[in-house]
Structure 1
């Protein structure tokens, strides 16, 4: 197991599908069953023993910064212009150590199985042969998800894109481990991490691990009551 000491939580999205709630509250600060989605993500990261944490901001950034003031020292990476997932992480790289780090979306919620998901990723992570390790979620059982899946996963834990297939059994959960080297030669400015996943896949350095807990996508205001019901004690 390789030590992972840094993490980034992505919190810069506009949350357009969550309007009108997100007109005044950034999506990561939407409360679900009594806790914001951003706090839930940070709880996982801190339980994994990570002290060096970056959170990116864009929409209603001051609100996010004010909220985080009560959580100890967190580095803010503000994006005056949205950089998408890849550009956002690339901008924050100087704050993410020199090797491997977690990246976690703050617009999803997950609960752990018997072993925390971040610990399972760390156990599987091998920086000598991996540039990216994605936590995958089974489409069947993904609460609030309405897509067709993103990946197939072979016996060697290598994900393959759905491509022209009508559906695939796994979706990307929004939780991952990345290596700095993945960003060598990356595009400038705004771009998606998918660009780098595909490049890592071509080099056979993209891997996947299937989540063994629950996973929830809160995409619209209408989805909130059901997820809150499932998360409530």
Structure 2
């Protein structure tokens, strides 16, 4: 199984820290955020990882190399100076990911979620990991029913953790779903993933699970500092 780490964001809310370092390469617990994901992916037998890049793209090969230190092979999917958004970035990376289901994880989140729980072959087009909604996203994103089906609306909305498994079929007919949204007609196209997920949810083609453990969206310097302190204080930090 291959994996994609989404690392092309501009990190604007993290400045000045991201003036010289892409957000996924900022250190927590003694190592880059992205390295935590690489370790977890390698631990479950993933060998091929694609990292999509844009802002400060040259920093990633310098920090991660070809992935050999984790027993991985890393390919880089450069999106140009303007990121292609989650959907466009994933669509461009499909040529490196192949035809089978793949794991995708946001490079700017941290979780104690066990990647071994992820299904190698989701029953629909996507399988999402959801968490309790944090203060900065109290309204949540999606609802999860007792049977494990994810929908756009529901009484209890959870937050998407930025961890999931996707089939390339999620992108079948993507232009019909995205329509004439800004960037969709560019080459390469730039568009968000959420409309595709919601369209698949409308067909009951998205499953999910509720992770009740630790999770952080590292979206501000304060959250980064808090996570770093937590990891060092609990002995999870790296060398």
Q: 1:121 aligns with which of 71, 96, 118?
A: 118
Structure 1 unmatched runs, 5+: none
1:155 corresponding residue in structure 2: 146
Q: How many residues align?
A: 215
Please give the alpha-carbon distance, in whole angstroms, between the structure 2 residues aligned to 1:41 and 1:170.
22
What whole-Å deviation, never above 9, does each CA across 1:96-153 have from its counterpart, x for those lacking one? 12120000101000113xxx2x211226x43xx31000001112xx5xx511211221
Q: Alpha carbon RMSD of aligned pairs, Å?
A: 1.7
Please give the alpha-carbon distance, in whole angstroms, between the structure 1 residues aligned to 2:174 and 2:92.
11
What whole-Å deviation, never above 9, does each CA across 1:132-178 have from its counterpart, x for those lacking one? 00001112xx5xx5112112211121222258x7xx44100000000
TM-score (norm: length of structure 1):
0.86
Matches within 5 A, 1:124-203: 125-126=121-122, 129-139=123-133, 142=134, 145-148=135-138, 149-162=140-153, 168-187=156-175, 188=184, 189-203=189-203
1:110 corresponding residue in structure 2: 111
1:230 corresponding residue in structure 2: 230
Large movers: runs of 4+ above 3 Å: none
User: Helix, strand or coil for the counterpart of 2:9?
Assistant: coil
2:33 corresponding residue in structure 1: 37
TM-score (norm: length of structure 2):
0.84
Structure 2 unmatched runs, 5+: 176-183
Q: Does 1:16 align with 2:12?
A: yes
Question: Does the CA-based 8 Å contact 2:126-2:167 persist in structure 1?
Answer: yes
Q: Does 1:82 align with 2:101?
A: no
